[in-house]
Amino acid sequence: MTDSIDVTVDELAASLRTIAETEPLVQSLTNEVTINDVANLILHWDGLPVMADTPGDAGEMAELASAVHVNTGQLPEAKVEAMREAGRAANERGIPVVLDPVGVGSTPSREAVAERLLSEIEFAIIKGNYGEISALAGVEADVKGVESVGDYDEIERTARSLADSTGATVVASGVRDVVADSDSAYRLTVGHELLGSVVGTGCMLGATLAVFAGALEDEHAAALQGTVAFGLAGERAADLPHEGPASYRTNFHDAVAGFAGDAADDLDLESRLERVV
């Protein structure tokens, strides 16, 4: 755990430099809808993407990876087996595994897969929307397809409860992102509403956290800084010329690529994080 209550510009810049220097190999087992965006985003953060998601190859690749990203957006039996295989191999090596439990809470099948993964794999970071995190924590949730709907007034405490029960740092994405471990919860004021107009930005956030976790030793810091960097890139993308969601999506990839290469100068981060638990 970390006692830090904020993310400084210097800390974020140092983390970005560490990522660029180490080029973490991030193995992503994600869904076909977002696989290209996820791979590109890993690359734009200066990581190295590999989308090894079949049994046999998945476990072998996890022997080489710096971090493993598990996204349950699609659940063919072979892919679930590959997730289990890669996760166990990563645990044996002591490298971080990031879980994005897409759509959990919407169908019994998704809940069963998520429960199995949680029972077999130790996750460093669990990232989901408010509904998904609430469902995993055993709290009433309203998930329609893969989207979170409804009100979640206690999301900070819910995220902290899930962190306590799993040992993971939990990132709950929403209008205001929440990052929690068993000792604390932070509310982040970063991001832009246009991120919600592009399919797959949640998957890309999960991949971002895997990049940061693959390069940094402190997994809580990786979750906090990765979420902040992702949101700030979303804001920068909105400042670039765009005519709608498609051009914003392109801007976002460009903003990430540019963000990873700078020193995070002139950022006001002090007002962006609030400890709420």
Helices (H) and strands (E) in the chain, counts: 10, 11
Angle between helix axes 201-215 and 219-239 (nearest 10 degrees) is: 130
Query: Which residues define the annotated binding site for substrate?
Result: 51, 200
Q: State the DSSP string of 68-79.
A: EEEE-SS--HHH
Report yes or no: 256 and 49 within 8 Å, Cβ to Cβ. Answer: no
Query: Which residues define the annotated binding site?
Result: 51, 127, 173, 200
The burial class, CB within 10 Å (0-12 / 13-18 / 19+), for 11 is middle
Q: How many other C-beta atoms lie within 10 A of the C-beta of residue 232?
A: 21
Rounded to whole angstroms, the Cα distance separating 61 from 53 reads: 9
In single-letter form, the type of residue at position 104 comes to V
Query: Which residues define the annotated binding site for ATP?
Result: 127, 173
Q: Which residues contact 70 (CB under 8 A, 6 or more apart)?
A: 29, 83, 86, 87, 97, 98, 99, 100, 117, 121, 123
Rounded to whole angstroms, the Cα distance separating 236 from 205 reads: 16
Rounded to whole angstroms, the Cα distance separating 220 from 126 reads: 11
Name the pairing type of β-strands 67-71 and 25-29: parallel
**End-to-end C-alpha distance for the chain, whole angstroms:** 15
